[in-house]
Amino acid sequence: MKSTDTNSSREQFQQKHGIVGSSIEIEEIVNVIQQVAPTDITVLITGESGTGKEVAALAIHAASKRSKKPMVTVNCGAIPEGIIESELFGHEKGSFTGASDTRKGYFELADGGTIFLDEIGELPPSTQVKFLRILENGEFMRVGSPLARKVDVRVIAATNKDLESEVRAKRFRADLFYRLRSVNMRIPPLRERREDIPALFEKFARDYAAANNIVFGGITDEAMDVFLNYYWPGNVRELRNVAESMLVIGNGRKLTAEDVQKYLKGFQVHNEERNLPVFVPKNPDIPERELIYRALVDLKNEITELRSLVLDSINGNGERHGSPVMRSAAGHGHLSLEDMERTMIIESLEKYAGNRRSAAQALKISERTLYRKIKEYGLQ
Ligand SMILES: Nc1ncnc2c1ncn2[C@@H]1O[C@H](COP(=O)(O)OP(=O)(O)O)[C@@H](O)[C@H]1O
Ligand SMILES: [Mg+2]
């Protein structure tokens, strides 16, 4: 009896806050959300990208006494390092070039409500100190002002990084880490709670069909089996995208295993590799990233070698020799690597219709790095 009551109140809660899933993992997460929501405790939500960290943060805020006030979401990785402090804490007029007026920061805007600091692992060390101070006593200073101000803000932070190893690598302050992790909610990747896949697929398919006035013709059991066995590197977000694309492809008819397999084909190779123990890394994206890095480093070394060869030959003869290609390599040897990077950035921005978050994810760099590179290469 007791557990049925608990179940139904949890189900109601999930329905109210749009949290789909009945795996033990989701049940536990929802329990924690229900426990922490009424308090002001700082919560750290960890999990791979697309697992539902923002969904959880929104539910905590909406179920709290602060729900009438705003939840301000800040993606720490997307704000350039130079302006992050003024964005978070505000600034006084004239405090730096371009500060033409006094501005409130996100913490002040969230006063009385909640601030959701996404990608907290991207916070620069100098800002980490100031953030810790706000966590300890609610105090902060606007950039350019000696005045300590106070805010009443509930902090929820999220990261897809392993903060513990960030601490070991001295990129994240240990004191801040310990302060943050007092309540650590880990949202497991979708592949670790596969039983949630059918309900999530159903929800996304139905929502999309309703919003776009199209018919969802259902899905065969075999097709669902393919989904159930897929690795889902992009987690729930990927499932949502796949569901929406499949609906368009299906054009109203029932989706078959063949439809699904065809659609996921590009990913299946990785999927099989990942099933071999030796290839199963903690972060499924690392091997590809490493390969790209290695290829870039190789390329750079080759260019450096080529450049020194060319320069040697030029200096040795006292005059310029060689083909135009060689000459350009001598002058701009390093450009090839940049060109390649620039092209990759342009291509991903095009692929994701200018969405920087998705482009950065595809490139496996932070949004901040992408932002910087866009500026650097004049791609705006
Ligand atoms: N349990 C869930 N129930 C319903 N939708 C979910 C769930 N988890 C994630 N989503 C959806 O998946 C997408 C990614 O979730 P999000 O919270 O943005 O992930 P993260 O912040 O971890 O990258 C969003 O569209 C979100 O609505
Ligand atoms: Mg997110």
pLDDT digits (tens, 9 = 90+) for 148-184: 999 999 999 999 999 999 999 999 999 999 999 889 9
Domain residues for the domain of 51 are: 2-188
pTM above 0.75, yes or no: no
Q: Max CA-CA distance within the chain?
A: 93
Number of structural domains found in the chain: 3
- Rounded CA separation 225/198 (Å): 10
Instruction: Encode 247-314 in three state secondary structure.
Output: HHHHCCCCECHHHHHHHHHHHHHHHHHHHCHHHCCCCCCHHHHHHHHHHHHHHHHHHHHHHHHHHHHH
Q: Is 98 left (phi over 0), alpha (psi -120 to 50) or beta?
A: left
First-to-final CA distance of the chain: 60
pLDDT of residue 294: 52
Half-sphere exposure for 20 (CA within 13 Å, toward CB): 18
pLDDT digits (tens, 9 = 90+) for 313-347: 666 543 333 333 333 333 333 456 677 778 788 88
Residues 334 and 358 in one domain: yes
Residues 182 and 197 in one domain: no
- The angle that helices 53-62 and 2-17 make with each other, rounded to 10 degrees, is 100
| pLDDT over 50 at 130, yes or no | yes
Distance 118 CA to ligand 2 centre (A): 7
Residues 17 and 84 in one domain: yes
Residues 44 and 106 in one domain: yes
204: CATH:
1.10.8.60
The 114-118 sheet, strands edge to edge: 71-75, 114-118, 154-159, 43-46, 183-186
Pick the range with the lowest mean pLDDT from 4-13, 198-207, 301-310, 319-328: 319-328
The answer to whether the CB of 47 is under 6 A from ligand 1 is yes
pLDDT digits (tens, 9 = 90+) for 222-270: 999 999 999 999 999 999 999 999 998 888 999 999 999 988 875 544 4
Residues 182 and 205 in one domain: no
Residues 204 and 177 in one domain: no
Q: What is the mean pLDDT of residues 194-222?
A: 96
Residues 316 and 219 in one domain: no
DSSP string, 38-84: TS---EEEE-STTSSHHHHHHHHHHTSTTTTS-EEEEEGGGS-GGGH
Residues 178 and 203 in one domain: no
Nearest to 83 by CA among 106, 111, 108, 54: 106
pLDDT of residue 332: 37
User: Which among 129, 155, 188 is the end of a domain?
Assistant: 188
For the CA atoms of 232, 233, 239, 243, the dihedral, rounded to the nearest 10 degrees, stands at: -90
Distance 20 CA to ligand 1 centre (A): 9
- From 236, 238, 285, 357, the mutation candidate for ligand 1 (largest count of ligand atoms within 8 A of CB) is 236
Bridge-based pairing state of the strands 148-150 and 71-75: unpaired
Q: Mark the residues whose beta carbon lies below 5 A from ion ligand 2.
A: 54
Of residues 315 and 209, which shows the higher confidence score? 209
Pick the range with the lowest mean pLDDT from 66-70, 104-108, 362-366: 362-366
Residues 208 and 258 in one domain: yes
22: CATH:
3.40.50.300
| pLDDT over 50 at 275, yes or no | no
Q: What is the mean pLDDT of the chain?
A: 84
pLDDT of residue 292: 59
Residues 259 and 290 in one domain: no
Residues 212 and 250 in one domain: yes
User: Which among 231, 263, 279 is the end of a domain?
Assistant: 279
pLDDT of residue 366: 84
pLDDT of residue 327: 32
| pLDDT over 80 at 271, yes or no | no
Measuring from atom 23 of ligand 1, which residue has the nearest CA? 50
Residues 296 and 204 in one domain: no
User: Which among 160, 188, 216 is the end of a domain?
Assistant: 188
Measuring from atom 12 of ligand 1, which residue has the nearest CA? 237
